[in-house]
Structure 1
C-alpha cells in the first residue's frame, strides 16, 4: 500500500470526525511518510510500519469519543464511546458490553427504586378514594418516601462515580488493545 492509498483509507474511516480533526490527523500521517522518505524507506515500508489504517482510525475514534465524554458527560456521549471501544476488537463485545449492561442495569434499578419509594405517598390517595385508608399506611408511605430520598441522594453519587470509573475502564481497554496490537 502506498502513501495515497493509506491516507485515502484512513480518511474514509474517519468520516465521523470534523473536517478540521481529519485534516490534523492526515497531516500527522503525511509527516510520518515525509520523515520515512527522508530515511530512504519506501512508501510501502512506511505504510506497513504504521499498521492498518482502518484499525488506526478505530483507535483514534475511540480516543476521540472518550475525550468528548470527559468534556461533556452525557448518556449519548457515553454510548458513542462504548460503541467506539467495542469496535476495536471482537472480544471487546464481551469485555466492554457486559460490564456496561450490568452497570446500566444497576444504576437504572437504583433510580427506579428511589422514584418508586418517593412516590409511595400517592398510594395513600388511592386508598382514600377506595375507602381503605389506614393511619399505619400513611406512616409507612412517609417512611418509604424518606428512604427513597436517601436512596436518590446515594444514587446520584453512585452514578457519578460509576460513570467516572467506567470511563477509566474504557481508557484502560484502549491502551491495552493498542499495546496488544503493537506487541502481538
Structure 2
C-alpha cells in the first residue's frame, strides 16, 4: 500500500472526529512515513508496519470518545463514547446492543417519570391553594414541593446510574479490546504473511 492510499483510508476512517484532532493524527502518521523514508524504508514497508488504516481509525476514534467522556461527563460525551466503542467492533454487538438498548429505555423512562413528577408537583403547588386542595393551601404547597423534591432526587439517581453505565461500558470495552488485541495483531500478521 502506498503512502497516499494509507493516508486516504485513514482520513476516511477519521470522519466524524473534530477536524483539529483528525489533522493532528494525520500529521503524526505523515511523520511516520517521513521517518521511514529517512531510514531507507519503502512506503509499503512503513504502511505494513503501521497496520490497517481502517482499524487504526476505529481505535483512534474510540480512544478520543473515551477521553472526551473522561474529561466532560455530559450526555453528548457519553453518546460519543458509547458509539465510538461500538464502532470499534471489540464488543459483540449482537449480545450487548439489545441489553444496552433495554437499559437505556429504562433510564429514559425514569427521566420522563421525574419530569412528570416535577411538572405535577409544580401544578399542585401553584393551583392547589386555589382549587380547594384537601388540607388547605399549606398542604398543597408542601405536597407540591415534596413531589418536586422527589422528582429531583429521581433524576439525580438516574443520572448517577447513567454515568455508571457509561463508565462500565467503557471499562468493558477497554478490557475486551485488550484481550482481543493480541489475536487481532496475530490475524493481521498472518494476513500480511499470506499476501507476501
TM-score (structure 2 length as normaliser): 0.66
* CA distance in 1: counterparts of 2:77 and 2:68, whole angstroms: 7
2:116 equivalent in structure 1: 116
Give 1:134 deviation, angstroms.
7.9
Q: Closer, same or farther in 2 for the Cα pair 1:71/1:15, shift >3 Å? A: same
1:64 equivalent in structure 2: 64
1:14 equivalent in structure 2: 14
1:97 equivalent in structure 2: 97
Give 1:168 deviation, angstroms.
4.7
Query: What is the DSSP-based 3-state SS (H/G/I as helix, E as strand, rest coil) of the residue aligned with 1:17?
Result: coil
Give 1:122 deviation, angstroms.
4.4
Give yes or no for the alignment of 1:135 onto 2:134: yes
Q: Closer, same or farther in 2 for the Cα pair 1:33/1:161, shift >3 Å? A: same
Query: What is the DSSP-based 3-state SS (H/G/I as helix, E as strand, rest coil) of the residue aligned with 1:135?
Result: coil
* CA distance in 1: counterparts of 2:145 and 2:165, whole angstroms: 30
1:32 equivalent in structure 2: 32
Q: Closer, same or farther in 2 for the Cα pair 1:122/1:27, shift >3 Å? A: closer
Q: Closer, same or farther in 2 for the Cα pair 1:18/1:148, shift >3 Å? A: closer
Query: Number of residue pairs matched?
Result: 180
2:187 equivalent in structure 1: none
Any unmatched runs of 5+ in structure 1?
Answer: none
Give yes or no for the alignment of 1:4 onto 2:1: no
RMSD: 3.8
* CA distance in 1: counterparts of 2:107 and 2:165, whole angstroms: 13
TM-score (structure 1 length as normaliser): 0.70
* CA distance in 1: counterparts of 2:78 and 2:5, whole angstroms: 32
* CA distance in 2: counterparts of 1:73 and 1:31, whole angstroms: 33
* CA distance in 2: counterparts of 1:85 and 1:102, whole angstroms: 18
Any unmatched runs of 5+ in structure 2?
Answer: 185-196
* CA distance in 2: counterparts of 1:69 and 1:29, whole angstroms: 25
